[in-house]
Amino acid sequence: MPEHTKVMGKEWAEARREANVARLRATLATALAGRTGITFELGCGHGHWLAAYAAAHPAEFCVGIDLITHRVERSVRKQTLGKLDNVIFLKAEATEFLEALPPEVSLAKIFILYPDPWPKKKHHKNRFISAANLSLLASRATAGTRLHFRTDNADYFAWTGEHLAAHPCWQVEPEIGWPFEQKTFFEERMKDRRDVFARRAE
C-alpha cells in the first residue's frame, strides 16, 4: 500500500475514533448524571446476562456495551420489556467507552463473559485482554474493584490469568464462585467454562 494511503487511513481511523468518543461523552454525561459507580459488562452480546443481573441487583446501576448494533438492539429490548431502570445498553467499542466515561464515574464491578478468543496465534494480538487494556480498565476502577472473566477457551483462560498476574494494578484471586448465574447467548453453545477473578490493587 502506498505510504500516503496508509497515512490517510490512519488519519481517518483517528478522526472516526474521536467522533465516537465525543458522541459517547455526550450520551454518558446524560445517562450517568449523578452517578459515581457502575457495574460494567464489556461485550454484552444480546444482553441476557446483564438484564437478568440488573433485575436481581436493583441497587446497582449497570452498563452493557457491545460493538454489534443488532446485539445492542436486542439487549435494549430486554431492558424495555423488563421495565428495568437500572441498566443501559450502548453500542460502543470498549476503549472508546472507557475514554468517554465521565471522570467522576468509576467501574465498581467488571464482567467479561465469553470474549472473542481469537484462537490462532497470529490473531492473539486482537484479544481484548492485554497489558494496555488492563491498565485502561484499572485506571477507571477503584481499589477493590473486582474483574470477573469467563471463557470456554483453555488458552484464553491461561492467557488472562498470566496477564493479570503480571500486571501491577491487578491481583488474581482464587476461585471465589461466579456471583450470578444466567446463561448468555454464547454460553448456550459452549461445552466448557472457566473463570478468572482479580481485584484492583490498593
- Decide if residue 184 touches ligand SAM (CB under 6 A): yes
Among 54, 71, 101, 137, binds ligand SAM (CB under 6 A): 71
Dist. CA 114–CA 137, nearest whole Å: 18
Nearest approach, Cβ of 123 to ligand SAM (angstroms)? 13
Q: By rule CB under 6 A, what string of x and - marks binding of each residue 4-43 to ligand SAM?
A: --------------------------------------xx
Residues in region 92-121 near ligand SAM by CB under 6 A: 93-94, 113-116
The size of the interface with ligand SAM (CB under 6 A), counted in residues, is 20
Helices first, then strands: H and E counts in the chain: 6, 7
Q: Are strands 87-91 and 194-200 parallel, antiparallel or unpaired?
A: unpaired
Residue 139 vs residues 63, 145, 166, 173, 197: alpha-carbon distances, Å = 17, 11, 16, 19, 18
Residues in region 75-94 near ligand SAM by CB under 6 A: 93-94
Q: Which secondary-structure segment (H or E) carries 154?
A: helix 154-166
Q: Which residues carry out catalysis? A: 116
Dist. CA 22–CA 26, nearest whole Å: 6
Give contact residues for ligand SAM (rule: CB under 6 A): 42-45, 65-68, 71, 93-94, 113-116, 128, 184-187
